Structure 1
Amino acid sequence: MIIVTGATGRLGRAVVERLAERAPAEQLGVSVRDPEKAADLAARGIRVRRGDFGDPVALAHALEGAAQVLLVSGPADPEPHRVAIDVAKAAGAKRIVYTSHQAASPDSLFVATRGHAASEQDLAESGVPFTSLRNGFYASTTVYLLRSALETGELILPEDGPVSWTAHQDLTEAATIALIDPNRLAGLTPTDPNRLAGLTPTDPNRLAGLTPTGPERLAGLTPTDPNRLAGLTPTDPNRLAGLTPTGPERLAGVTPALTGQELFDYADVAALVTDLTGRKVTRVTVPDEEWRQTAIAHGMPEFAADLTLGIFAAARRGEFAVVDPTLPTLLDRPTTTLRDVLTQELTL
């Protein structure tokens, strides 16, 4: 059974819907804080149980019988994720898929990405086979800020940096593939995101000799071919370090960044929404503290304001300025553009 946590949230619910298209309902289950909100899933034959990362007993009941668990990450604090990993292991899960972040790093300026790095370490130490999906920054983040900017004509924010904004729908599909068809990403180790020897996470030629944008990137490689990683000889399947050619371990460990294929800072976003709507939106940069005080005065909790400032500090340092070809390769199609996301979500 595949169990999805957080299945009434945006990403979790979307993944359940995609899984239901590809697997029998009786093979699916969800862990949710409020089962009433998932009553429609129960009516379709999907197992619905109450589960909460803060309640290990209830979570153990929700994860009972799980072969795979999708842990949809929550707050920046890694402790609830650590509890969920321990409970999934105790429940006998054979594999954990975790939604991480493209910038996960212990020295990130953004507290949430430091938390994701800690959770990835907990996964590695758990002894349970896992996949950590390093999801790109949600493109829908821009929508929240743009709604007010479209009313005022000004997008007033701290100094930022470029971000490879990534659509929920693309990350939904990636998570579904990870659970249903894990052989689509081959040979990533639990601890080494640069499994393709000598290639950096942002190198478009990750598979030597394959074009960066064409379908030929995977040409001639079958799902069971142990030589998927460039430079492996036909007689050296052990370069896949204990991973069987056909097993679910082929999608193992920390993935490369799963990102959109364009970089936009908020000046670019303002220009894009101006073009889409015909309403002029001007990007206005203000000092961090000025923005913080204004946000708090308008009702934002202090912790949320400080967390948000961490996002801008990390963006200025270039932590989100990564464009990696893994996601379009995995999806076998171009990624959804920010223009498309804004068109859909701003109901233009």
Structure 2
Amino acid sequence: MFIVTGATGVLNGTTVEHLLERVHPSEIVVVARDTAAPAAARFAERGVAVRYGDYAEPSSLPAAFEGADQLLLVSSSDPKADAVALHGAAIDAARAVGVGRVLYTSHQGAAADTPFGPGRDHFATERLLADSGLAWTSLRNGFYLHSLAWLLGPWRETGTIAVPADGPVSWTSRGDAAEAAAAIVASDGAFDGPVTITAGEAPTFAEIAATATEVAGREIRFELLDTDDWIARQIAGGQPEFMARFMLGMYEAAAGGFFAGTDPLAGRLLGRPMESVGDFLAAPAPAGH
């Protein structure tokens, strides 16, 4: 049985959609904090079982995970939460009910010394998995491509991409990562330990500015800002300071090479070209950008 947490969200919800292309709905269970959510209801209508479970309520998890041959755990996305403790509660429950394999949505560049806070949490969670005695796979996804919608700022209006640090990033479509995850989840343990899921290129922000220039048909300048100046601009634009400093860690990790690697695995699993930065920039801008 395949059990998937966070399936009311975009990433694991899309993974379930692709799992449904591979296995019968009766072989899938989705776990949600809100079992009445529209996404959960849509899965239920298609014959997928829906169970209640919340990492922050550990007592709810053993029943939610019971019977799992493959358990896909979504990582916490709350920057204020103790993500490692939440993940640890889920891993403890998986061990208690004898889950066959835990798969975890990690992140490329997971490391104890990365400036990017979630990368440290992912690394710590992977250590918990390694020490759990369970078979495990961590899906180290490349930095999500759609993040560029806000990380690049209003470049179409200003003609400038301004960042506090620069380095290569293997920008990876969330949809592509979800489809690759479904193939890995359904592979019956063919992938063990950390698995890197990225697009085939890792452009810097300066290179993205050059691509944006081609897409826009006019020059899009690249500007490397002083860190304090960049944070001040973010706060002036309405960003809470803690969030500005949280995102600063991403740029610093990029400059440190934590997101530089690429891996052909996802492209092979999909059997088609993955979405590129150029594809993303050429698409209509999301609402509000």
Whether these two folds match at TM > 0.5 is yes
1:126 partnered with 2:126: no
Match of 1:50 in 2: 52
Matched residue type, 1:340: D
Q: Write the deviation string for residues 272-315 of structure 1: whole angstroms up to 9, x where unpaired.
A: 22322335432222111121122123332332211111111111
Q: Which one has a bigger Cα radius of gyration?
A: 1
Match of 2:165 in 1: 159
Which of 76, 81, 87 is the aligned partner of 1:81? 87
Aligned residues: 280
Seen in structure 2, the aligned counterparts of structure 1 residues 33 and 299 have a Cα distance that, compared at 3 Å, is farther
- For residues 259 and 236 of structure 2, what CA distance do their matches in structure 1 show? 28
1:84-103, aligned counterparts within 5 Å? Answer: 84-103=90-109
1:275 partnered with 2:206: no
Matched residue type, 2:254: A
Match of 2:175 in 1: 169
Matched residue type, 1:44: R
Q: CA contact under 8 A between 2:166 and 2:206: conserved in structure 1?
A: no
Deviation at 1:265, TM superposition (A): 1.3
Question: 3-state SS of the aligned residue for 1:41?
Answer: helix
In structure 1, runs of 5+ residues without a counterpart are 183-247
- For residues 180 and 298 of structure 1, what CA distance do their matches in structure 2 show? 44
Which of 312, 319, 324 is the aligned partner of 2:258? 319
Question: 3-state SS of the aligned residue for 2:274?
Answer: coil
1:292 partnered with 2:231: yes
- For residues 6 and 295 of structure 1, what CA distance do their matches in structure 2 show? 30
Q: CA contact under 8 A between 1:105 and 1:117: conserved in structure 2?
A: yes
Question: 3-state SS of the aligned residue for 1:270?
Answer: helix
- For residues 51 and 300 of structure 1, what CA distance do their matches in structure 2 show? 32
Aligned-residue identity in percent: 42
Matched residue type, 1:335: M
- For residues 233 and 84 of structure 2, what CA distance do their matches in structure 1 show? 29
TM-score by length of 1: 0.75
Seen in structure 2, the aligned counterparts of structure 1 residues 14 and 344 have a Cα distance that, compared at 3 Å, is farther
TM-score by length of 2: 0.89
Question: 3-state SS of the aligned residue for 1:299?
Answer: coil
Q: CA contact under 8 A between 2:171 and 2:202: conserved in structure 1?
A: yes
1:30 partnered with 2:30: yes
Q: CA contact under 8 A between 1:164 and 1:320: conserved in structure 2?
A: yes
Matched residue type, 1:47: A
Q: CA contact under 8 A between 2:105 and 2:140: conserved in structure 1?
A: yes
Aligned CA-pair RMSD = 2.0
Match of 2:194 in 1: 254
Question: 3-state SS of the aligned residue for 2:30?
Answer: strand
Q: CA contact under 8 A between 1:167 and 1:338: conserved in structure 2?
A: no
Q: Write the deviation string for residues 216-268 of structure 1: whole angstroms up to 9, x where unpaired.
A: xxxxxxxxxxxxxxxxxxxxxxxxxxxxxxxx2x311122x322111211122
Deviation at 1:140, TM superposition (A): 1.2
Match of 2:72 in 1: 70
In structure 2, runs of 5+ residues without a counterpart are none
Q: CA contact under 8 A between 1:31 and 1:59: conserved in structure 2?
A: no
1:309 partnered with 2:213: no
